[in-house]
Structure 1
Amino acid sequence: MGVDAGTAPPARAGAAGDDKRLKKHFGPIGLLFTAVGSVIGSGWLFGALDAAELAGPAAIVSWGIGAVMFVLIGMTYAELGTMFPHSGGVARFPHYSFGSFASFSMGWVTWIAAAAVSPIEVLAVVQYATNYLPWLERLDADKNAVLTPAGTGICIALLAVFVLVNFFGVRWFARINNVLVWWKLAIIALVIVVFLFTAFDGSHFSSYGGFAPYGVHGIFSAVASAGIAFSFFGFRQGVELAGETSNPKRNVPLTLIGSVVLTGVLYVLLQIAFIGAVPSDAVAKQGWVNVGTNFSTGGDVLATFGPLAAIAGVLGIGWLAALLYADAIISPGDTGLIYTGVTARISYAMGRNRNAPSGLAKVNKTGVPWVSLILAFIVGCFFFLPFPGWSQLVSFVTNSTVLSFGSGPLVLLAMRRQLPNQVRPFRLGRGWAGVIAFLALFSTNLIIYWTGWDTNWKLFVVIVFGYVLMALNQALGKGRTPRMDFRHGWWVLVWFAGLALISYLGNYPEADKHAGNLSVLDFNLGALASLVLTVIVMALALNSALPQERVEEILAEHREDDDAAGEAALP
């Protein structure tokens, strides 16, 4: 694959992409480590167990598939993120190519997904802490971890801490994060080495049902439902914080692709070490499907509350278990800090697009969108209520986040037609852009299908609620909201409806008889239906894209708005 390098104009002093109100405090390592720190959150603490229960030893393949899919998606955003180094870019790019209706649709999904991540990371901290503070959570009848009232209060307090740290601004945040990421990388490497050299049993890869005891269905289901896709979401920081980095041409592609490759290798190695280190008697009882509930640390504490630490405890490696309990605060805590800021920047971007209240774009003296931060905290607290435990919330965040990424490939191809002469500091080689964009959108549709109807229907209800909010904003904000450009964004409705239909007809989740899906489509037919939907959506979107003059008009409006804001912000 070829990559063409364009010539970028010199950056203006004091500007952050087009966002003069934001500060440029992220260098190449700072931005990369923000993504890596976001990727290495709670996913690695629970993902190895959840993936093994769904796919057995073949979970190794699941991690590899997930990494490849997110590299493809990341490559589409590498070109866009260097063309328009705007903070909150995932929400803003659709606005440039397809207008306000499309950008609200994708921005709403993006914001909801991001708003749920910090609560997930808080839940991970509390779930591991339940091993020594048992009053934080309990197991329900289905053996799901559920917050107690006291645990809910602790979760809200931790989320408030994330918000307060973000108020101090990006410079302090980047300094803290770099130190924490080195810690997280060291802990993962240590777990891999210790498990491989002290308790590795190679027979686990062929015994107890073989390498893939639950077949292809289990392998792909694990990508969506075991925290694998969730674990790679942090690559997005290269886009969401692109307006706050000093050299987008170099730093954005490095972050988007490098973070997935680096963590993907670590996750595969961790899954191999986990499969080999799990106590044999735990697997022998019921196979891989219930391995998490079939071993404990010697008491009534199940591996559900901390699988890696539980294995270390069973193996008698107390010092490693202690480190893992400490890391169960540091890793999710760091990621929660990152996503609290990212959530605020997405609603900031929607405020800049003017398809959300303009107050969301207000920033303080340190360049932090403070109104959006407060909103992120308020909404984040609600996620502690309806979802029992980490694993249940992860599936919802997976389908919504992946759906938000799906607009990137479409904007990439639309921009090739709309702004052919635009400077592209990072450019996918001629002939490759179309292939990569198609595979990236296809990957998006597949992951949503594999997530399963029992989770997907909740996403589509949230999307409908978002359209109600959009209508209210349009009605109350007459004269202040942009024109909808509905005829350029109507294809989004076809896409959402197609995903809902395929999911309802599909057989994910296969084992759940109460999910309500019809199970008419098997794995192969579901993949074929997703492929057909990819072709239809891509054709409709590209044929509906805004004309070049309208794109230039939107970009000019944003430049004028930001120039005015930048002048007002000067002392």
Structure 2
Amino acid sequence: MSIQAEPRDGLRRTIGFYGLTFVSLGSIIGSGWLLGALKAAQVAGPASLISWVLAAGMLTLLALVHAELGAAYPVAGGTARFPAFAFGALTGFTAGWMGWIQAVASAPIEVEASLTYLDNIDWVKRHLDLLHADGTLTASGFGWATFLMAVFTVLNVAGVRLVSESNTFVVLLKTAVPLLTIAVLLPLSFRLSNFTAGGGFAPYGAHGVFAALPVGVVFALLGFEQAIQVGGEARHPRRDIARAVITAMLVGAILYTLLEITFIGSVAPANLATGWSDPIHEGAFGPYATLAVLAGAGWLVYVLYTDAVISPAGTGLVYTATSARLAYALGRNDMLPRQLGKLNRAGVPLWAVGLSFLVGEAAFLPFPSWQSLVNVMTSATAIMYAFAPVALMALRNRDPGRPRPYALPMPGLTARIAFVSANLIIYWSGCDVIAKLLLVITVGLPLFLLTRARTPQARRPALDVRAALWIPPWLLGLTAIGYLGRYGEGATNLLPEWLDLAVVVAFSLAVFTVATRLARPAKEVQAAVLTETAA
């Protein structure tokens, strides 16, 4: 049984390999590249290099899982629909809800980053008054944030091809500027001695290496799945989706590791006399600009501040598109109001784009600064990612005849390690963050059930409560381990270092085994896929 295009969706397949690659890479290279190195160094010192390599390895495994799923099942909003195929509507909604929350929150994060960087310019600070002293948005800042969100929305209403084409230019620029920064700073100010200064290579031990992941390292590398979210609009999905995901992830991982090396080696040694807690005394929202001035490359500052607006803005544009596609997928599957699953004449999910704009606007109110959203968004994304390895193994078992243009190497082992990786990222984010996300899921479930109650019986997707029974113990178990563990606010440190990680690994493997066994029967899985892809 070969999967087909989605003709009854009306989505237009216009994006090629480079467009898909740039959609993912454009999400990976955003505000994180300018802030991630500083945040990681403050928490882990030079050992933050290990944090970047570790995060890249973990996310690459998750990217490979998504690559197989995206190529085998090229549907729009795939992160919601892969779990729905394997476990039914309740599981699909939970995964899709987390995916939509993180995607719809990403555009406001990037908008806030753009305005934060702009506020470093004296003329902007004097005349536009974008930010309060604590970094939160002023009334004027909220107005400009609304304007940027409106621009993203208009571009998305114009169609995914315009988003892809405009994003291509922006991604080329966003990649060129970090490479230029590396090329300029390394020969001018690199000091190998910095890697053992300020308390040694690992001044905060292994705890610092792991704690650095949720404060900006993982966040910076997020976004590889965006090519999958628009998979229903790929011109040659079987051939291009997997290659695009893997290419974007590798480019992002290499670039960020080089940036961290450049940052650590370029810091003024005098700033490290008391450790790594404050390696840049000024320019906290533009650390590379400060290093450029110290290196005598003042001209680079203007390039960096220009890119500091373009990079977050480009990422915000992509996430506005993909959050709309996730809402579209949830609406089309009758998990949220069906109006969200309708397309206009241009093949654009207009209602879903509008909803993403409204919720993005609302996110500015409780989270009016860049940093206030990063930890929560990182953990939400990790939860969304965690559904993929479980769904992959369930679909391999229940739908073995599916053509797989990209096949995951050693799928049984790799999928398990990928699931463990996602759970470790969630654990390192802290039990307080996990608890907040449990509340978000709790808020979403009544919306799902109300939509289901208003949907005609003949059109309701199977709820499959039994297939979703593993989800509450999984999330509540992670919260409990986080409470007993050593990361985030509210952690009690009752689990010794390293033993806590062993507990997370063992718990994750147990959940994985139970979850894959609870998947829907093969006939139901194959029927669900056929229903979703039939003309």
TM-score interval, normalised by the smaller of the two chains? over 0.9
Are 1:102 and 1:490, in contact at CA under 8 Å, matched by a contact in 2?
no
Q: Which moved more, 1:307-316 or 1:407-416?
A: 307-316
Q: 1:323 to 1:155 in 2, by over 3 A?
A: same
| Aligned-partner Cα distance in 1 for 2:288–2:247 | 26
Partner residue in 1 for 2:178: 188
3-state secondary structure, aligned to 2:136: strand
Count of residue pairs the alignment pairs up: 529
Kindly state the Cα deviation for residue 149 of structure 1 after the two structures are TM-superposed.
2.1
| Aligned-partner Cα distance in 1 for 2:239–2:454 | 42
Partner residue in 2 for 1:531: 505
Partner residue in 2 for 1:209: 199
Overall identity of the aligned pairs, in %: 40
Kindly state the Cα deviation for residue 19 of structure 1 after the two structures are TM-superposed.
5.9
| Aligned-partner Cα distance in 1 for 2:331–2:219 | 26
Partner residue in 2 for 1:380: 360
| Matching residue within 52, 62, 87 for 1:73 | 62
Kindly state the Cα deviation for residue 20 of structure 1 after the two structures are TM-superposed.
4.1
| Matching residue within 324, 338, 342 for 2:304 | 324
Kindly indicate whether residue 337 of structure 2 is the aligned counterpart of residue 347 of structure 1: no
| Matching residue within 50, 53, 62 for 2:42 | 53
Q: 1:388 to 1:206 in 2, by over 3 A?
A: farther
Kindly indicate whether residue 271 of structure 2 is the aligned counterpart of residue 282 of structure 1: yes
The one-letter amino acid of 1:503's match is G
The one-letter amino acid of 1:139's match is A
Kindly state the Cα deviation for residue 157 of structure 1 after the two structures are TM-superposed.
1.4
- In structure 2, runs of 5+ residues without a counterpart are none
Are 2:327 and 2:341, in contact at CA under 8 Å, matched by a contact in 1?
yes
Are 1:238 and 1:251, in contact at CA under 8 Å, matched by a contact in 2?
no
Q: 1:193 to 1:535 in 2, by over 3 A?
A: same
| Matching residue within 420, 424, 434 for 1:446 | 424
Kindly state the Cα deviation for residue 71 of structure 1 after the two structures are TM-superposed.
1.0
Matches within 5 A, 1:547-562: 547-560=521-534
The one-letter amino acid of 1:347's match is A
- In structure 1, runs of 5+ residues without a counterpart are 1-7, 297-302, 510-514, 564-571
Partner residue in 1 for 2:148: 158
Partner residue in 2 for 1:171: 161
| Aligned-partner Cα distance in 2 for 1:416–1:529 | 28
Q: Which moved more, 1:399-408 or 1:473-482?
A: 473-482
Matches within 5 A, 1:471-490: 471-477=449-455, 479=457, 480-490=459-469
3-state secondary structure, aligned to 1:25: coil
3-state secondary structure, aligned to 2:344: coil
Q: Which moved more, 1:39-48 or 1:478-487?
A: 478-487
Cα deviation digits, residues 369-388 of structure 1 (max 9, x gap): 11011100111112212225
Partner residue in 2 for 1:566: none
Q: 1:235 to 1:556 in 2, by over 3 A?
A: same
The one-letter amino acid of 1:423's match is P
The one-letter amino acid of 1:129's match is L
Are 1:54 and 1:219, in contact at CA under 8 Å, matched by a contact in 2?
yes
Cα deviation digits, residues 29-83 of structure 1 (max 9, x gap): 1111111111111110110111111111111111111111111011111111111
Kindly state the Cα deviation for residue 318 of structure 1 after the two structures are TM-superposed.
1.9
Kindly indicate whether residue 438 of structure 2 is the aligned counterpart of residue 460 of structure 1: yes
Kindly state the Cα deviation for residue 163 of structure 1 after the two structures are TM-superposed.
0.7
Are 1:95 and 1:102, in contact at CA under 8 Å, matched by a contact in 2?
yes
The one-letter amino acid of 1:249's match is R
**TM-score of the two chains, using structure 2 as the length reference:** 0.95
Matches within 5 A, 1:132-531: 132=121, 133-134=124-125, 135-140=129-134, 145-225=135-215, 227-284=216-273, 286-292=274-280, 295-296=281-282, 303-429=283-409, 432-477=410-455, 479=457, 480-509=459-488, 515-531=489-505
**TM-score of the two chains, using structure 1 as the length reference:** 0.90
Cα RMSD (Å): 1.7
Are 2:72 and 2:403, in contact at CA under 8 Å, matched by a contact in 1?
yes
Are 2:431 and 2:480, in contact at CA under 8 Å, matched by a contact in 1?
no
Kindly state the Cα deviation for residue 474 of structure 1 after the two structures are TM-superposed.
2.9
| Matching residue within 15, 23, 27 for 1:26 | 15
The one-letter amino acid of 2:63's match is G
Are 1:18 and 1:243, in contact at CA under 8 Å, matched by a contact in 2?
no
